[in-house]
Amino acid sequence: MTARNEVVEWILCVKAHYGFSSLTPIPAVNYFDRFIASRPFQMGKSWMSQLAAVAYVSSS
């Protein structure tokens, strides 16, 4: 849950910094939630969540 909170916070910061639409975080968080629900999430590998967050923000 901590990793998810950090990712959501990061997505919101990126949205604010780059002036993305208010709708951008919704699919990005949705995709991230699907990712962590469908994959065995590996604790101690924070780069996995960061990489997924970057991919989802850039695809939104």
Residuewise pLDDT in 10s, the chain (60 residues): 677 888 889 889 988 998 988 888 898 888 888 887 876 766 667 777 777 777 777 766
Q: What is the pLDDT of residue 60?
A: 60
Whether the pTM exceeds 0.75: the reply is no
CB contact at 8 A, 32 and 55 = no
What pLDDT shows up at residue 43? 60
Please state, in angstroms and rounded to a whole number, the distance separating the CA atoms of residues 34 and 23.
Answer: 18
User: What does the pLDDT read at residue 17?
Assistant: 92
pLDDT, residue 1, reads 65
Nearest one of 27, 57, 24 to 49, comparing CA atoms: 57
